[in-house]
A = this chain, B = another copy of it.
Amino acid sequence: MTDIAQIEAAAARIAGHIRHTPLLNAPLLDRIAGRRIFVKAESLQLTGSFKARGGWSAVSALSPEARARGVIAFSSGNHAQGVAYAAARHASPCVILMPSDAPQVKIDNTRSYGAEVVLYDRATEDRDAIGARLSDARGLTLIRPYDDVQVIAGQGTVGLELAGQAREAGIDEAEVLVCCGGGGLSSGIALALRAHAPGLKVRTAEPQGFDDMARSLATGARQRNSAVSGSICDAILTPTPGELTFPILSRLAGPGLAISDEEALRAVALAFTHLRIVLEPGGAAGLAAALFAPDLPDTVIAVATGGNVDPKIFATALSRFA
């Protein structure tokens, strides 16, 4: 189980390698929301999402021998790029297993970071079996996207930074709205804030229809989503909360929030206009909740988790809402 000491150790390992991201705000955005909104812009992180933190934390925690053999991850998204980037900077071989129908730009970007991309056919091949065969043959270490102690510790470094930034901004009490898939980032931040900024309370933000974490928190047991796709917030669609992450959030997080696809696109457009940052819809879920959810306190902090967005989807958000 990840604890604050592991988060602080991860922070020491990533220092100088991973960007300290800014906490942004805009008077005109506050006016629209009717409350003070601060945005922790992890979209400005290297590789365009917070996933570089977890990747770096996990790769850097390996023994030199394991690192020399290499790592493997299953992802077509931000986790792939985060792990590929971290592995390359550690001179650690990296295999990323992606479905063959993944967007070409994601395949290309992951290769550009130096990873070997292995494609598989979703319909006819078993991802886990292919991964196990490769891992066995080459001695690769699997880096899971959220159910991994060191990945959670790496994501928790967002919370350490945020605790300091909130203090500097004079924020003692606030809700911290975090875009949530499997819960790695939310749980890491929750642990860090409990230790260093106990007046800041994590709440998860998920797409409507994919609010497995919110329902799990409400019922006290891990729930599943009925669908695996169908929201524009593709980066944060996961079937069920993590085994490691759920107990942490169950203990430390407030009630989960859910936002619509339209609210996510509105948040993308408002972040463009008022903060001048590029967010992907899933990375804007926390901001969407900050803008549009009912019954929030006067001060909220949204964690903007990623900015790897299809230009067409971004242009759609602008044409509809900017």
Contacts and interface: CB of A to CB of B under 8 A. Distances in A.
Interface of A: 19-22, 24, 26-28, 31, 41, 43-44, 46, 48, 85, 109, 112-113, 269, 272-273, 275-279, 307-308, 311, 314-315, 318-319, 322
B276 A276 contact: no
A59 to B, nearest CB: 16
B276 A43 contact: yes
Given A22-B21, A278-B277, A278-B278, A272 B311 contact: yes
Contact of A318 (B22, B113, B314): B314
21 contacts: A19-B24, A20-B22, A21-B22, A27-B46, A27-B112, A27-B113, A28-B109, A28-B112, A28-B113, A41-B44, A44-B277, A272-B311, A272-B314, A273-B311, A276-B278, A276-B307, A277-B277, A278-B278, A311-B318, A311-B319, A315-B319
Contact of A19 (B22, B44, B272, B314): B22
The 9 closest A-B pairs by CB, nearest first: A276-B307, A311-B322, A276-B278, A311-B318, A315-B315, A43-B276, A28-B112, A48-B276, A315-B318
Contacts of A315: 315, 318-319
Nearest to A108: B28
Grouping DSSP codes into helix (H, G, I), strand (E, B) and loop, the A interface class, with mixed when no group exceeds half, is helix
B46 A22 contact: no
Nearest to A308: B276
Contacts of A276: 43-44, 48, 277-279, 307-308
Nearest to A278: B276
A43 to B, nearest CB: 5
Contacts of A43: 276
Nearest to A275: B44
Contacts of A269: 311
A279 B26 CA distance: 16
A315 B24 CA distance: 24
